[in-house]
Amino acid sequence: MSTAHASRRWPPPPPAVGGEKSPPRLGAPEAGNRVHSGAAPKSPRRQAGSRRGGGGSGTMMGGFLYALLLLVAAALLGAAILLVVGSIYFDATNSEVPPGIEQPARLRLLHAIMIGTAVVGKILENLHICSQVQFVRYWRNGRKLGPDAKLFIKDMKFKHVPVRIYQPKAPSAGVRKGIVFFHGGGWMFGSINSYEKMCRYISKESDSVVVSVEYRLSPEHKYPAQLNDCLAATTHFLQTADDYGVDSARVIVAGDSAGGSLAAVVCQTLVGRQGLAKVCAQILIYPGLQAVDFNLPSYQQNQAVPILYREKAAFFFLHYLNGDVSLLEELLQGCHVPVDQRPRCKKWISADLIPKEFKARGYKPWVPVSCDEEVYQELKNVFVPEISPLLAEDAVVRKLPRTCIVTCEYDIIRDDGLLYKKRLEDNDVPVTWYHVINGFHGILSFFDNGWFTFPSGKQGMDNVVRFIQSL
């Protein structure tokens, strides 16, 4: 075998002992020769240094992200603090909380939260994430509560209208009373979810079947969509009451705020219906019953009392009627009332008909302004009973069923309830009246609301239950 072949034998020969050099491997550069092609291999120290450099870069990036997160969190916290402070400041500078109102500090905080929610909704609307109305609805509506040990609860539809039925589980000695309930919310907000506690309480405490109606809302749906839904649900229940263990002759129509207005109109509409069971009673909880005069004593005294301002009431009404809120100031001033309508309106809607004790906190007689014909043409529907049930004729009012009316002293629409009470009594309709002397608009909804519970709301609810039990 040649020497050249022997030099390439595997395994290679062991290194020389002593100072002898090993023969160079084939293709390997000899010691002292410079390599001109390719990169020199990195030493372990250089490699370690390279790894340390990469780790330092990652640490810098992590530190930057952490600082950025802290900055964003600080900005959000600052925005939240600004929102809270701004909402409280707005409430303090724009609201009037009379000394006689129940738990004024708690009411102010509740109202500030509502203001803050509206502000957040407006920001989201400007960012094109969702509309302000959608956000406020989401916040107010909440979610459906869990099962109730004492109630069967079922969602279904009466014709095209979604409803939620509450039916006591305990056996009944006979057929029960039925209650068709319309929630409040200015025809714009509210839902069967937001009024679930109230409906559950009424059903359990009065041993009645409650039907809560999810009518359509403005501004997406304007008058008469809400009324049509409520009428459809009520007539369907009157026709099918037996299916739910209810005596069709003992069906009550009830509503809260805007729902109270709808309840009043439904009862007026049904008094002339043939071939349908008569409504047994109506329950009107601080109802809004007219859009003719926004200068009655309660509208002046409570114009800035939370949670319903005078301007906000007009705003809700205009969205319900036609969606044109540009006429808000004209509506408040009375520019929509023509001369030929004034005698009829004053007959049933007038400060002269309000008892003197309800003017004690101050009232300045309103001087009528001239009518704007264009405004009247836009708002002329306010003079029909379907919008202002206080303007119904006596022939209709005297046929109405026994009535329960709840009013609150510090509520702008207090006088609507007082005027309707007088109209009913003048037409020999039995009226049970509960006045919450230290209450504000919406107080019954806070009868069981955790820290935001108001005792007078619970008392009002119990009065409503006692009225139902008395039927």
Q: What is the pLDDT of residues 80-115, one digit of tens each?
A: 677 666 666 666 678 899 999 999 999 999 999 999
Cα 219 to chain center, whole Å? Answer: 14
Best CA proximity match to 386, nearest among 265, 282, 284: 265
Helices (H) and strands (E) in the chain, counts: 15, 8
Phi and psi at 237, nearest 5°, equal: -70, -40
Question: Whole-angstrom Cα distance, residue 288 to residue 267?
Answer: 15
* CA–CA dist 269, 253 (Å, integer): 12
- Which residues have CB under 8 Å from 373's CB, separation 6+? 338
- Half-sphere exposure (Cβ direction) of 303: Cα atoms closer than 13 Å: 12
pLDDT digits (tens, 9 = 90+) for 418-445: 999 999 999 999 999 999 999 999 999 9
pLDDT tens for 5-50 read: 443 444 444 444 444 444 444 344 444 444 444 444 454 444 444 4
Q: Which of 170-174, 303-307, 327-331 has the lowest mean pLDDT?
A: 170-174
For residues 73 and 410, give the distance between their C-alpha atoms in angstroms, rounded to a whole number: 41
Tell me the average pLDDT of the chain.
Answer: 88
Phi, psi of 236 (to 5 degrees): -65, -40
| Helix (H), strand (E) at residue 52 | helix 44-94
Residues linked to residue 284 through DSSP beta bridges, in sequence order: 255, 405
The secondary structure element, H or E, covering residue 438 is strand 431-440
* pLDDT tens profile 246-266: 999 999 999 999 999 999 999
Total-model pTM: 0.84
What amino acid positions are annotated as catalytic residues? 257, 411, 441
The answer to whether 264 and 287 have CB atoms below 8 angstroms apart is yes
CA-closest candidate to residue 216, choices 224, 205, 208: 224
Distance from C-alpha of 271 to C-alpha of 253, rounded to nearest angstrom: 13
Give the per-residue pLDDT at 70. Answer: 73
